[in-house]
Structure 1
Amino acid sequence: MGVDALGYVALALAAVLIGFSKTAIGGAATVSIVLFASVLPTRESTGVMLVLLMVGDATAVWTYRRHGDWALIRRLMLPVLVGVVVGAVFLGFAPVALLKPVIGGIVVAMSLLQAWRMWLAGRDARRLREATGSREPAAPVAQPSGARSALASALGSAGFGWLAGFTTMVANAGGPVMTLYLLRRDLEVTRFVGTLAWFFAAVNLTKLPFSIGLGLVRPQRLLLCLALVPAVLLGAVLGRWLISRISKDVFEKVVLVVAGLSGAWLMVS
């Protein structure tokens, strides 16, 4: 398979995290990027990881096939496709050595922004409960409506979509970006994971021809990919077990922390 025993153990752990990220905590797969790049040459690691991500996609889509938010996915696909094409062109002409720190910095900044938004929302809810004398959780504050709100939503979707497409094409690092975007949508846990599953199943399938054309996916690594598939499936089972036992509030906090740490890891890896 072209790797020694210790290298295979590291790749198997990374593969477990890939499966786990597909059925539970999306940002966990960012750790796999570092593990793969530490064992395999950078370009080959991207290709092998893409194949395993697609295995995880298939498992996640089957598991959450009824829980995708298709309106949201359709809104993102055009900017994502633009990001994938730009990323493919970038890979054809530019080195990727400096890209991971940039991607990591963006993810960390967005994680901090989302944490700030969540803290403000919690503070406002506490103040409302104190003002009304109610012990029940306060109802969500209505979001502004009208042309300005629609434009802001469209621009936000386009920005996150483009960035997700670009980062996933260049470094398989679109997970934290999409995780942060979906946190802003306030989805129920299974709908959150199901939307992420369907989204990346479509995106990774779109990436495959580009990756083959760029020589990232190579038949010489097929045996290694097959040997790592059981680890992906194990991670997917573990993720599915966990997701049914975690509350929405805890889930959102864990996802946010994992996304932030993943971004920081990209910055220093």
Structure 2
Amino acid sequence: MPDLTWLAWALLGLAALIVGLSKTAVPGAGTVAVAIFAAVLPAKQSTGTLLLLLIVADLFAITMYRRQANWRALLRLAPAVVVGVLLGVGFLAIADDAWVKRTIAVILLAVIVITLVRRRISAPVADAGPHRVAAVTYGTLGGFTTMVANAAGPVMSMYFLAARFPVKEFLGTAAWFFAIVNVFKVPFSIGLGIITGPGLVLDAVLLPMVIAGALLGRWIAGRLPQRVFERLVIGFTIVGAVYLLVG
């Protein structure tokens, strides 16, 4: 069992709850969980430990929203995501923790700015002429950020928001996207040594909180107006990115 203080356990429990909540209700909140894990555990170890909890939460999200996925959008993203993951593997192998955190934060903030500007001056991504360029850009960034810090939630949330997906379609598409990508990352994470024995023990202890968060999120999602949903996604994304930048 990892030797942690009661405060550290409390923070990790809260983060696990947020993991489940982010998968079934408010995707942007996942960045807060990333930040908590990175603050309590060594940054690279936190990535491997959090990955397995995310996969469990992905299973709940798929069960709840499996029929709402936009597979056309997922297939459009797939090649760029694979490239991004492989770039992330290389980056994670050579970069230190501080460099990783700040790089991800800068990317997240840039994506927020670009998406908000795009929503004001152009048509939705799904209907716009350059949607393939958007898919390549967001897909590569999403693959890179999910590999190095499990922080692709905000990146892909910005893409799905720009595509103007309704809440349920947004959540269903995101559920399948992250389920597939997170499983794809497991062999690389094992090879990099960021999935460890103590991390597996920690995951077993925190698993009930992930399940509770997923069920709570399902209840919230059915009562969340589209406008409030979008503002929460953007708000949590900004909070998490700023924390990674200055933390």
Bucket of the pairwise TM-score, normalised by the shorter protein: over 0.9
Q: 1:144 to 1:170 in 2, by over 3 A?
A: closer
Q: Which runs of 5+ in 1 are unaligned?
A: 122-140
Is 2:215 the counterpart of 1:214? no
TM superposition shift of 1:162: 0.4
CA distance in 2, matches of 1:231, 1:86: 32
Percent identical among aligned pairs is: 42
CA distance in 2, matches of 1:41, 1:178: 25
TM superposition shift of 1:119: 5.0
Matches within 5 A, 1:2-41: 2=2, 3-41=4-42
The equivalent residue for 2:93 is 92
Matches within 5 A, 1:172-251: 172-251=150-229
Q: Alignment partner of 1:178: what SS? A: helix
Q: Count how many residue pairs are aligned between Structure 1 and Structure 2.
A: 246
CA distance in 2, matches of 1:219, 1:144: 43
On the 8 A contact 2:45/2:195 being kept in 1, the answer is yes
Per-residue CA deviations over 1:116-146 (Å, capped at 9, x if unaligned) read: 444568xxxxxxxxxxxxxxxxxxx79998x
Quick one: which amino acid aligns to residue 174 of structure 1? A
On the 8 A contact 1:19/1:56 being kept in 2, the answer is yes
On the 8 A contact 2:119/2:162 being kept in 1, the answer is no
Matches within 5 A, 1:49-198: 49-119=50-120, 150=129, 152-198=130-176
After superposing the two structures, state which structure 1 stretch, 108-117 or 220-229, moved more. 108-117
On the 8 A contact 1:87/1:167 being kept in 2, the answer is yes
TM superposition shift of 1:219: 2.5
Q: Alignment partner of 1:97: what SS? A: helix
CA distance in 1, matches of 2:170, 2:134: 18
RMSD of equivalent CA atoms: 1.9
TM-score normalised over the length of structure 2: 0.93
Q: 1:186 to 1:226 in 2, by over 3 A?
A: same
CA distance in 2, matches of 1:155, 1:70: 18
CA distance in 2, matches of 1:171, 1:180: 17
Q: 1:143 to 1:190 in 2, by over 3 A?
A: closer
